[in-house]
Amino acid sequence: MKRYLSIFMMSLLSMTTLFAYAENEKEQNDFFVIYGKIIDVDTRTPLYFASISLDGTNIANVTNSEGFFSLKLPLDISGERIITTSYLGYLSTTLRVSDFRGSSDSKPLVISMKAVPLSLDPATIRAYDARSLFYEAFSKVKQNYPQKDVGMTAFYREMVKKGSSRYLSLNEAIIDIEKAAYKDFSSMDKAAVYKGRGSINYNSSDTLFIHYQGGIMSSLYVDLVKRPFAGVYYDSIDYYYNFKMGQTTVIDGKLFYVVEFDQKTDDPDASILYRGRMFIESESLAIGRIEFAMNVEGRKEAASIFVPKKPANLRVDVEQATYIVNFKEYDGLWYYDYARLEVKFSTRRKHAIFRNYYSVLSEMAVTDHKRGDFKIDPAKRVRYKDMLSEKVKDFQDDDFWENYNIIEPDASIDAIIRRIIRQLSRRENT
């Protein structure tokens, strides 16, 4: 079986974390798994990236694009312990562990959530104009975010798909992170791969996208609280961007202001910047979530940002580049929690009639915070140009992976994983 390769992907999540219960040395099968699906109570549509957590612990996960989740719990957990679900703009729900008795991957417990009726007391909402709120939020970064480096463990997944159904690459890894303090915009995050697994399935014509670079470090680089709006100096943001207030919302019982932003100029020769919205907690003015997109539509030069080298006879167009970054509060400080990056391309060779379409997706979810000082070994650091395939091994050490809460794969991805395991099994028996 060919080695799996990595890709550059882009994404982000709801206000939650993916926390692992099991430590590296846990014995196999010291947990049980509960399964669920979260939907809107009125529309019955699945809620993507809803947060699920066991109260009073770091055990948590998020739903996949079809609303499904799994959560691994220690065997000795009481059935009376509380499972909380939360989602942007929805009322949180609580259930007991015992409510999930009998749930399975084929029969998940369906949890209905209700959108928050935004009938807020005007006295709770301060009068802000969008520009002033934006700058005030950034002025409070030092008091709202860690001022010391923080060690983290994260789950990372990246995949590239051709067309609507053919997956060319699927890679996952447990990542150690040295998250730099929010003292200034120049401090750099560091990361190293602890465990990984993956596979590829591509032909020579797809090599360009399999070797798409960025990956792990890109998921950290999109932390716009640490480095606001890449490509624009902080003091110049007001010159390049327009701001306006969006619809106030509630997350986990907290009120969030929403600031929408977009670049000012319609000049086709202007730099490619961003548009999106920023969620700012009303009391602390901490930035809890950022959803944004690069203004690549109709810009031929956008391809060079993501694919620096390509065959001369191949035209590459970036159709879409979207990002989400989420932060979560612990003990009065807000920490990097989750990132999701997605880029969509189309390609056409010279004189060809039809185009090929690709999507590159990555997500990183913090699973734990390390105690005390933590430093990444310089020899093990992941660089921006590194590909995950060079850092991990093919779906090995399954005992290790059994003890980790991971984002539940979409059904099609899950099928790919099962196929990969079967292929490797056959290889080992030959």
Helix (H) or strand (E) holding 402: helix 398-402
Kindly state the average pLDDT of the residues 364-385. 83
Task: Say if residue 363's pLDDT is above 60.
Answer: yes
Tally the residues of the chain.
Answer: 430
Task: Say if residue 385's pLDDT is above 90.
Answer: no
Q: What is the mean pLDDT of the chain?
A: 78
Kindly state the average pLDDT of the residues 278-284. 92
CA distance 177 to 335: 13
pLDDT at residue number 411:
62
Q: DSSP of 344-395, one letter per residue?
A: EEEEEETT-SS-EEEEEEEEEEEEEE--S-----GGGPPPTT--GGGT--TT
Q: Which residue has the tokens 């699927």?
A: 170
Is the pLDDT higher at 401 or at 53? 53
SS3 224: coil
CA distance 404 to 33: 11
Asked whether the beta carbons of 164 and 356 are under 8 A apart, the reply is no
Kindly state the average pLDDT of the residues 379-393. 73
pLDDT tens sequence across 96-144? 999 999 999 889 999 999 987 655 444 445 657 888 899 899 999 999 9
SS3 15: coil
Give backbone dihedrals phi and psi of 124, rounded to 5 degrees, phi first: -85, -10
Kindly state the average pLDDT of the residues 33-49. 91
At 5, the pLDDT band (50, 70, 90 cuts) reads: very low
Which is it for the CA torsion 147, 157, 222, 279, positive or negative? negative
At 272, the pLDDT band (50, 70, 90 cuts) reads: confident
Kindly state the average pLDDT of the residues 209-237. 74
SS3 22: coil
Which amino acid would we find at residue 71?
Answer: L
pLDDT at residue number 277:
93
pLDDT at residue number 399:
67
Q: Is 349 exposed, middle or buried (0-12, 13-18, 19+ CB in 10 A)?
A: middle
Q: State the pTM of this model.
A: 0.74
pLDDT tens sequence across 66-101? 899 998 898 888 999 999 998 877 888 999 999 999
pLDDT at residue number 53:
86
CA distance 10 to 306: 11
Is the pLDDT higher at 133 or at 21? 133
Q: Which residue has the tokens 């620096």?
A: 308
Q: How many CA atoms lie within 13 A of 382 on its CB side?
A: 31
- Helices assigned H by DSSP within 39-129: none
Which residues fall within 8 angstroms of residue 40, CB to CB, at 6 or more apart?
46, 47, 90, 112, 113, 114, 115
Is the pLDDT higher at 138 or at 1? 138
Q: Which residue has the tokens 């860690």?
A: 146
Asked whether the beta carbons of 423 and 34 are under 8 A apart, the reply is no
Kindly state the average pLDDT of the residues 323-350. 89
pLDDT at residue number 23:
29
Most confident of 53-62, 229-238, 261-270, 324-333: 324-333
**CA 298 from centre of chain:** 26
Fold annotation for 31-113: Immunoglobulin-like (2.60.40)
Q: Taking Cα atoms as reference points, which of 39, 35, 42 lies closest to residue 50?
A: 39
Is the pLDDT higher at 211 or at 128? 128
Task: Say if residue 61's pLDDT is above 80.
Answer: yes
Lowest average pLDDT, out of 196-200, 217-221, 294-298, goes to 196-200
Asked whether the beta carbons of 286 and 254 are under 8 A apart, the reply is no
Most confident of 52-56, 109-113, 311-315: 109-113
pLDDT at residue number 201:
65
CB atoms within 10 A of CB 334: 21
Kindly state the average pLDDT of the residues 391-415. 63
Task: Say if residue 205's pLDDT is above 90.
Answer: no
pLDDT at residue number 117:
66
At 24, the pLDDT band (50, 70, 90 cuts) reads: very low
Which residues fall within 8 angstroms of residue 77, CB to CB, at 6 or more apart?
54, 97
Is the pLDDT higher at 377 or at 429? 377
CA distance 325 to 113: 23
Domain residue ranges of the chain, discontinuous segments joined by +: 31-113, 127-429
CB atoms within 10 A of CB 360: 27
What are the structure tokens assigned to 408, written together? Answer: 């539940």
CA distance 63 to 408: 7
Which residues fall within 8 angstroms of residue 351, CB to CB, at 6 or more apart?
none
Task: Say if residue 152's pLDDT is above 80.
Answer: yes
